[in-house]
Amino acid sequence: MARHRALVSVSNKQGLEEFARGLVALDWEIVSTGGTARSLEEAGIPVTPVFEVTGFPEILEGRVKTLHPKIHGGILARRETAHLEQLNAHQILPIDLVVVNLYPFQETIARSGVTREEAIENIDIGGPSMVRGAAKNFQYVTVVVNPNRYGAVLDSLRLRGEVPLTLRMELAAEAFAHTAEYDQYITTYLQEQLAIEAGLEQQGDKDLAAKGAALADSSFPEQFVLAGEKVQDLRYGENPHQRAAFYRTLGFTGGLGQARQLHGKELSFNNLVDLQAAWGLVKEFNQPAAVIVKHTNPCGTAERETLLEAYQKALEADPVSAFGGIVALNRPVDEATASALSEIFLEVIVAPYFEPEALSVLQTKKNVRLIAVDPSTQPVSLEIKTVEGGFLVQEVDQVTLKPEELQVVTKREPTPEEWEELKFAWKVVKHIKSNAIVVTRDKQTLGVGAGQMNRVGSARIALEQAGEKARGSVMGSDAFFPFRDTVDEAARAGVTAIIQPGGSVRDEESIQAANAYGITMVFTGIRHFKH
């Protein structure tokens, strides 16, 4: 009889044959299930089917295979007299090594057209039970969930005859992370299914608020589980003395977590934060658009007929701040745009695609990071912010303007050109830190006031930056005007139209001021605070 027993049941068979041969050469018995046992037998590797150990066949179409005391007793027993006496009494042999990775639930739900029944049948039960049991008993049992660990385990067995405690503990921690990740995929999937059910139940219901409440209820469970997979360690966080890493959210496909870096140095913590700000804004536009971000605020934004023109106008908006900035583009980058981009120092350029000629131009700049992101990926529904001892979860601000809900509150109606410009300004101001004011003309930002402690202060910054170009421009504000002073400042600078949420107890004062100056003002009824 072999000196040791290993239980092997894996969906990912990478490196399995070599590992199993190594165990057999060291006089280990391999117990296995279903497809894993067949793979080993076909490779000519001795294997004991699990039903020979349990004395019980697989039942319920394979749903029950390893859930048996002769398996879990062998895994969970402490190697001391009382437990060993019980194993002997029940004719149970100890299991010293558990090699398990789980049913491919993530891969299953990622397939196009997968049914709920298929997804559910790929929820592993016996696998996580064995993994968790072995990980709990790491003092005596080695658990391996990652094929990349096979070599280290074999090397230890060959050199020492055992796996050292420190490695067993490390592998146990990895195993619990594996099952936690797996459970997160399942949790996310079922919550999405609940949201779908809530939406279906509300179909035909004209009360959209009720539908929204149903969907929201399914998105905020009593226990919120968040799991991520490390993309990379970062050189440091916001400052050199802070450690940091980048994780992609499990269960979410696309976005920056799935972005491809085509060139340049590794991304930094601040790069990634700014990248999200830039990419989030540029996706708002249907026409070719460019956004330049510094410290999470757009210092230049423009929309034009071509991508090159959009970038040139975004740069023209604030060329001083653009130096060392992050540029986001919503169209594939062509050679002409690449040539313009290469003329100044930029930290990062992000776009859906870079044409080969554009890559050739930009790759001559050694340090600039080139990032390709699929713009058609699923929308993010929730965002998370941490506080000391906890975190906050909210829906992403994805509300859009509905023309029928816009209210012209002044005597003068906007001209067709002003209407288009007001909509542009509103898209931009949504992405500026509160208190936020933006001044735009011809679908180009002229001045941005961000993050000030009072609204009129933001307005003065934006108008000062716009200078003489402010004459004939429009102003956007992310929240209402608490006083008429912002309207007064706008009028002195030559602003002709304002878009803001409304809702202040002093709205009438602002309206009267706008009427006195001949400014048209539109209320959206929507606030876009961004903290």
Tell me if 394 is assigned to some domain.
Answer: no
Tell me if 298 is assigned to some domain.
Answer: yes
Same domain? For 170 and 237 the reply is no
Same domain? For 49 and 174 the reply is yes
Same domain? For 251 and 333 the reply is yes
Per-residue pLDDT, 203: 47
Which of 83, 263, 265, 295 is catalytic? The answer is 295
Same domain? For 112 and 24 the reply is yes
Same domain? For 361 and 243 the reply is yes
Same domain? For 243 and 360 the reply is yes
Predicted confidence band of residue 253 (pLDDT cuts 50, 70, 90): low
Same domain? For 252 and 109 the reply is no
Tell me if 283 is assigned to some domain.
Answer: yes
DSSP codes of every residue in 124-175: -SHHHHHHHHHHHTTTT-EEE--GGGHHHHHHHHHHHSS--HHHHHHHHHHH
Q: What angle do CA 188, 194, 198 make, to 5 degrees?
A: 145
Per-residue pLDDT, 263: 95
Tell me if 362 is assigned to some domain.
Answer: yes
- CATH number of the domain that 454 lies in? 3.40.140.20
Query: 495-523: per-residue pLDDT in tens?
Result: 999 999 999 999 999 999 999 999 999 99
- CATH number of the domain that 126 lies in? 3.40.50.1380
Query: Rounded to whole angstroms, how far apart are CA atoms 375 and 449?
Result: 28
Same domain? For 242 and 95 the reply is no
Mean pLDDT of 194-217: 51
Structural domain total, the chain: 3
Q: Are 48 and 74 in contact (CB under 8 A)?
A: no
Q: How far is CA 210 from the centre of its chain?
A: 28
Tell me if 129 is assigned to some domain.
Answer: yes
- Look at 35 and 199; give whichever has higher pLDDT: 35
Same domain? For 165 and 299 the reply is no
Same domain? For 86 and 167 the reply is yes
Q: Are 311 and 325 in contact (CB under 8 A)?
A: no
Peptide bond into 271 cis (omega under 30): no
Predicted confidence band of residue 200 (pLDDT cuts 50, 70, 90): low
| Predicted confidence (pLDDT) at residue 303 exceeds the cutoff of 70 | yes
Tell me if 380 is assigned to some domain.
Answer: no
Query: 376-412: per-residue pLDDT in tens?
Result: 776 667 888 999 999 998 988 988 898 889 999 999 9
Q: Is beta strand 48-49 parallel, antiparallel or unpaired with respect to 97-101?
A: unpaired
Predicted confidence band of residue 257 (pLDDT cuts 50, 70, 90): confident
Tell me if 386 is assigned to some domain.
Answer: no
Which of 13, 136, 263, 265 is catalytic? The answer is 136
Query: 61-75: per-residue pLDDT in tens?
Result: 777 777 788 888 889
Query: 333-366: per-residue pLDDT in tens?
Result: 999 999 999 999 999 999 999 999 999 999 999 9
> Catalytic residue at 365?
no
Per-residue pLDDT, 211: 41
| Predicted confidence (pLDDT) at residue 76 exceeds the cutoff of 50 | yes
Same domain? For 336 and 233 the reply is yes
Mean pLDDT of 233-257: 87
Predicted confidence band of residue 206 (pLDDT cuts 50, 70, 90): very low
Tell me if 210 is assigned to some domain.
Answer: no
Same domain? For 47 and 100 the reply is yes
Of 56-60, 187-191, 206-210, the least confident: 206-210
Token pair of 334 as six digits: 């062509």
| Predicted confidence (pLDDT) at residue 176 exceeds the cutoff of 70 | yes
Q: Is beta strand 244-249 parallel, antiparallel or unpaired with respect to 228-234?
A: antiparallel
> Catalytic residue at 295?
yes
Average pLDDT of every residue of the chain: 88
Expressed as residue numbers, the domain containing 447 is 403-523
Mean pLDDT of 473-495: 97
The answer, as to whether pTM is greater than 0.85, is no
Per-residue pLDDT, 143: 94
Q: Are 409 and 511 in contact (CB under 8 A)?
A: yes
DSSP codes of every residue in 472-524: T-EEEESS--SSTHHHHHHHHHT--EEEE----TTHHHHHHHHHHHT-EEEE-
Structural domain ending residue among the three candidates 372, 393, 419: 372
